[in-house]
Chains A and B, each alone.
Chain A
Amino acid sequence: MTTLILAEHDGKTLNEATAKALTAAKALGAPVHILVAGHSISAVAAAATRLDGVAKVLSADAESLAHQLAEPLAALVVSLAGGYDAIVAAATSTGKNTLPRVAALLDVMQVSEVSKVLAPDTFERPIYAGNAIETVQATGKLVLTIRISAFTATGEGANAQVETVSVPADPGTSQWLGAELSASVRPELAGARVVVSGGRALGSAEQFEAVLAPLADKLNAAIGASRAAVDAGYAANDMQVGQTGKVVAPELYIAIGISGAIQHLAGMKDSRIVVAINKDADAPIFQVADFGLVGDLFTLVPELVKALD
């Protein structure tokens, strides 16, 4: 009985999502191995060896894995699957892209977005944008993606060995052409302690930045956005919080000029403290807010920045 975790990384550093998936994986009760797949990934593999409770790190280093394309990555995981009873990945864009392929090739159903491990074969997962929680039981080999906002990260303290594994030939039917990744000096949205999010009310990309940045700077917060703000081009797609964007559960979530549609709430309602700033006292966001401030955000947000001095 062993569990394999597919590590989340960008080729240089191990993403905290891996340590969160590890917490969920350990609850299955079996020894855990971490698979680091990529190209020139020795630093990532070394970081994985330190995660507390990891028995072994598998390193799969090949050019075909450099961009985490689903076909070669899934083929690699399937080639190793015989030795494992459970295959786990964080529900990141890479995990969501790859693991259902693995599940289909193993002829098992994946359990998506596990938010709680009740028993080694029984899990909770949100459905209907988090408006219902399903308890599901699986038989046979497990393939799980983990909702990382629902688990704390495992700390360091181990010193596992790295074992090199061979990489199956790449089918070569897809090719990576390029990426446009957002560079931000702010904390990563998925793991930030404080998130400041803006909605359609911000009105333009310039105002989105001008109003939210001083508050985010003051709180060392990540900046998020509603879908309406992203669709309108005020914010980048990777800032979207919600059913179709990222799911976050920070200590403090401040929703500014966001109405609180169920699809938005799906991405933030497990935050510890929610603050809403909205000029409409009947906006649904106030129904989930611990503290509400009714009024014009263009005067209230600068006032809040000042009050936090």
Chain B
Amino acid sequence: MKILVPVKRVVDANVKIRVKPDGSGVDTANVKMSMNPFDENALEEALRLREAGTATEVVIVTVGSEKSAETLRAGLAMGADRAIHVKTEAPRIEPLAVAKVLKAVIASEAPDLVILGKQAIDDDNNQTGQMLSALLGWPQATFASKIVIGAGTIDVTREVDGGHETLRLALPALVTADLRLNEPRYASLPNIMKAKKKPLDETSPETLGVDIAPRLTVLKTTEPAGRTAGIIVASAEELAAKLKQAGVL
């Protein structure tokens, strides 16, 4: 079984981002970038399936700028076998465009399973996996917290609003990973060195014949109305009195 894992380079989850004062976007210059956390879960799961002998090859792919090669190297250092860089300097690539590019990659790679992150923590779109699955005509299981491979099928436990549910999908299938799927590994130093020699192929949306022009226009990006710190009360009694005063009880 071959598994494809799409990964995205995003502002690190621990960075407190800054909105540019002119409303033109979020300042990403000189901030720490990392692999999207959910994509680490997706990759970790694929690696475990390979280590268990269920999968034979794990291929990672990203759609993004020159710099997103770093994210691919990080994924290779975690243990992916090879990487595909769909290079574009387009400032904004929407989930629909990413899904179309991935569909084109899948046409030649022919994986049996695609595992994506459930959501990119920059744009918080939560769309790409579902869109890709629709374009491929494949079954999907989003927000996965557990995966069990069967004979030509995959059972996926999903985190849903009311708790959990389990689906059985016919392969090929698409899964999006939630954070509780697993605990991603750190890349060891020897593996970081080895990753430099692993194959990293380059292509582009143009070569794949995919139009990635955005469909939505971002008019502006602003800071949310902030909350300000209130007061520290001295005791539980004072807190109770304040809450009564505020009329929330």
* Residues in A lying within 8 Å of B, measured CB to CB: 10, 67, 69-71, 74, 92-94, 96-105, 107-113, 122, 126-140, 171, 173-182, 190, 194, 219, 227, 230-231, 236-238, 243-244, 246, 251-252, 262-263, 269, 272-275, 281, 286-294, 300, 303-304, 306-308
Known: A173-B139, A179-B162, A179-B165. A74 touches B248 (CB 8 A): no
Give the residues from 212 to 249 in chain B that come closer than 8 angstroms, CB to CB, to chain A. 214-224, 227, 229-233, 235-237, 239-240, 242-243, 246, 248-249
Q: Residue A134 contacts which of B137, B221, B227 (CB distance < 8 angstroms)? A: B221
Known: A127-B123, A179-B163, A237-B164. A93 touches B143 (CB 8 A): yes
Tell me the interface secondary structure of chain B in the complex. Answer: mixed
List, sorted by A's number, 20 A–B pairs whose CB atoms are closer than 8 Å. Answer: A70-B130, A100-B127, A100-B131, A100-B134, A101-B140, A104-B99, A104-B131, A109-B216, A110-B125, A112-B124, A132-B221, A134-B220, A137-B217, A178-B165, A182-B162, A237-B164, A252-B243, A286-B229, A288-B227, A307-B239
Q: Residue B248 contacts which of A100, A103, A194 (CB distance < 8 angstroms)? A: A194
- B68 adjacent to chain A (CB < 8 Å): no
Contact B134 A294 (CB under 8 A): no
Known: A101-B134, A122-B219, A173-B138. A181 touches B224 (CB 8 A): no
Known: A100-B126, A105-B134, A173-B169. A132 touches B224 (CB 8 A): yes
- B122 adjacent to chain A (CB < 8 Å): yes
Q: How far is the CB of A267 from chain B (nearest CB, A)?
A: 12
The interface bits of chain B over 5-44 (1 if a CB of A lies within 8 angstroms of the residue's CB, else 0) are: 0000001010011010000001000000000000000000
Contact B17 A131 (CB under 8 A): yes
Contact A179 B164 (CB under 8 A): yes
Contact A131 B167 (CB under 8 A): no
Q: Residue B13 contacts which of A108, A174, A263 (CB distance < 8 angstroms)? A: A263
Contact A74 B134 (CB under 8 A): yes
Q: Whole-angstrom distance between the alpha carbons of A100 and B122 in the complex?
A: 18
Closest to A294 in B: B232
Instruction: Return chain B residues, CB-CB under 8 Å to A134.
Output: 218, 220-221
Closest to B223 in A: A132
Most chain B CB inside 10 Å of its own CB: which residue of A129, A131, A274: A131
Instruction: Return chain B residues, CB-CB under 8 Å to A307.
Output: 236-237, 239-240
Q: Whole-angstrom distance between the alpha carbons of A307 and B240 in the complex?
A: 6
Q: Whole-angstrom distance between the alpha carbons of A132 and B235 in the complex?
A: 35
Contact B165 A67 (CB under 8 A): yes
Binds A, one of B71-79, B153-161, B201-209: B153-161
Contact B130 A104 (CB under 8 A): yes
Contact B124 A129 (CB under 8 A): yes
- B55 adjacent to chain A (CB < 8 Å): no
* Residues in B lying within 8 Å of A, measured CB to CB: 11, 13, 16-17, 19, 26, 94-96, 99, 118-119, 121-135, 137-143, 145, 155, 158-170, 173, 178-180, 214-224, 227, 229-233, 235-237, 239-240, 242-243, 246, 248-249
Q: How far is the CB of A66 from chain B (nearest CB, A)?
A: 12
Contact B119 A269 (CB under 8 A): no
Instruction: Return chain A residues, CB-CB under 8 Å to B124.
Output: 112-113, 126-129, 243
Q: Whole-angstrom distance between the alpha carbons of A236 and B180 in the complex?
A: 12
Contact A109 B232 (CB under 8 A): no
Contact B130 A97 (CB under 8 A): yes
Contact A177 B160 (CB under 8 A): no
Instruction: Return chain B residues, CB-CB under 8 Å to A230.
Output: 180
Instruction: Return chain B residues, CB-CB under 8 Å to A263.
Output: 13
Instruction: Return chain A residues, CB-CB under 8 Å to B246.
Output: 273, 290
Contact A112 B160 (CB under 8 A): no
The 4 A-B pairs of least Cβ separation, nearest first, read: A303-B236, A104-B131, A100-B130, A290-B230
Instruction: Return chain A residues, CB-CB under 8 Å to B19.
Output: 131-132
Q: How far is the CB of A302 from chain B (nearest CB, A)?
A: 8
Q: How far is the CB of A76 from chain B (nearest CB, A)?
A: 13
Contact B166 A275 (CB under 8 A): no
Q: Whole-angstrom distance between the alpha carbons of A131 and B123 in the complex?
A: 11
Contact B160 A273 (CB under 8 A): no
Instruction: Return chain B residues, CB-CB under 8 Å to A74.
Output: 134
Q: Residue B179 contacts which of A99, A194, A227 (CB distance < 8 angstroms)? A: A227
Contact A103 B122 (CB under 8 A): no
Q: Residue B162 contacts which of A181, A252, A272 (CB distance < 8 angstroms)? A: A181
Contact B236 A300 (CB under 8 A): yes
Closest to A299 in B: B236
Q: Whole-angstrom distance between the alpha carbons of A179 and B180 in the complex?
A: 17
Contact A293 B126 (CB under 8 A): no
Contact B125 A71 (CB under 8 A): no
Q: How far is the CB of A26 from chain B (nearest CB, A)?
A: 22
Contact A251 B248 (CB under 8 A): yes
Instruction: Return chain B residues, CB-CB under 8 Å to A102.
Output: 134
Q: How far is the CB of A77 from chain B (nearest CB, A)?
A: 11
Q: Whole-angstrom distance between the alpha carbons of A307 and B244 in the complex?
A: 11
Contact A273 B165 (CB under 8 A): no
Instruction: Return chain A residues, CB-CB under 8 Å to B126.
Output: 96, 100, 112
